[in-house]
Structure 1
Amino acid sequence: METYHIGFSIAALVTRLFLGIIFVSQGYSRLFKVGSKHVADFFGEQLAGKNYPKWILSFSAYATSISECIGGILLILGLFRGIALSLLSIDILLVTLAFSVMQTIVDLEHIFPRLLLLLVLWLIPSSVDIYTLDELLKYVFNIDTMIF
């Protein structure tokens, strides 16, 4: 195992927590405050006349909201890092696709910062991201939760 400066581990922790909080609050808001039905209705209005089935909009609204909540919680806890990053990567791609279908020129004001932080976390080796529940489980119970 390579030895890294503690600053890299703290940077990984702060980035992971920051991104996790953003995704949890966004997903929670869409699930419980605004409601995924309203989100699907909003996209339905924007895509009116483009012949997209309503069930795709409803499914996408629920799927992205749930993946944001679950992925964000996993990031905050530092549990199943690879799964969390995969879920959130798929989520960002779906959201970007939806916005690009709605508008010719996509406003990346909200998407781009999340994408950059997600890419940073993909690039940080898991051996650097040591302040996690994964590492605690590995240390205390000798359980390896690192899937990828």
Structure 2
Amino acid sequence: MNDKTSRAAAILFIRALLGIIFFMQGYGKIFTFGVPKLYNMFFKDFEKTFLPKWLIWGTAYYTTYVEFICGFLLIIGLFRQWALYLLALDLLIVSFGHGLLEPIWDLSHVIPRAILLIAALIIPKEWDKWNVDEIIFNK
């Protein structure tokens, strides 16, 4: 294998792994729990904070569907940059939320995702050759 092939494979791995992690998170939220049940399990405590209820509900839906949809988009490599930006916002929201309720001591869920996401964001998109964007939008 040449260096360009190895680089493309590594980038595909980073993007697909990050996509699978987020996709499965969103999948579980949607199809195992559903957003209303998820809200009662994880988001209800935020009602004790300064956040308005409409924002908490919006966040529950946003994080759930962004993880599911953007995770899938990363796996196949469609609208990669937009998916990464939306997932970066998702990680910021989730980190803020966890920190709002209690000090964040356990970063085991955030840090691996953040590292993969940062890597995917700083890798030049021209190096990511194996994706649907390349097929559809190749100029």
Q: Normalising by structure 1, report the TM-score.
A: 0.84
Q: Superposition RMSD on alpha carbons, in Å?
A: 1.9
Q: Does 1:66 align with 2:65?
A: yes
How many residue pairs get aligned? The number is: 138
Mark the runs of 5 or more structure 2 residues left unpaired by the alignment. none
Distance in structure 1 (CA, Å) of the matches to 2:5 and 2:133:
18
- Structure 1 residues 136 and 45, CA gap change in structure 2 (3 angstroms): closer
Aligned mates of 1:86, 1:79 — CA distance in 2: 13
CA deviation vs aligned residue, 1:33-56 (integer Å, no higher than 9, x gap): 112222222334433533433222
- TM-score normalised by length of structure 2: 0.89
Structural mapping, 1:26-105, within 5 Å = 26-47=25-46, 49-105=48-104
**Cα shift readout 1:72-116 (whole Å, capped 9, x = no counterpart):** 111011111111111101111111111010112342111110010
Code of the aligned partner of 1:47: F
Residue by residue over 1:89-148, the C-alpha shift from the partner in whole angstroms, topping out at 9 and shown as x without a partner, is 111111111101011234211111001000010111111100001111244xx4xxxxxx
- Quote the Cα distance in structure 2 between the aligned partners of 1:8 and 1:24: 24
The one-letter amino acid paired with 2:88 is S
**CA contact 1:72–1:84 (8 Å) conserved in 2:** yes
CA separation of 1:123 and 1:130: change in aligned 2, threshold 3 A: same
Corresponding residue of 2:134: 135
Paired amino acid for 1:34: F
5+ residue gaps, structure 1, are 143-148
Which residue does 2:13 correspond to in 1? Answer: 14
Identity of aligned residues (%): 36
Q: Of Structure 1 and Structure 2, which has the larger fraction of its residues in helix?
A: 2
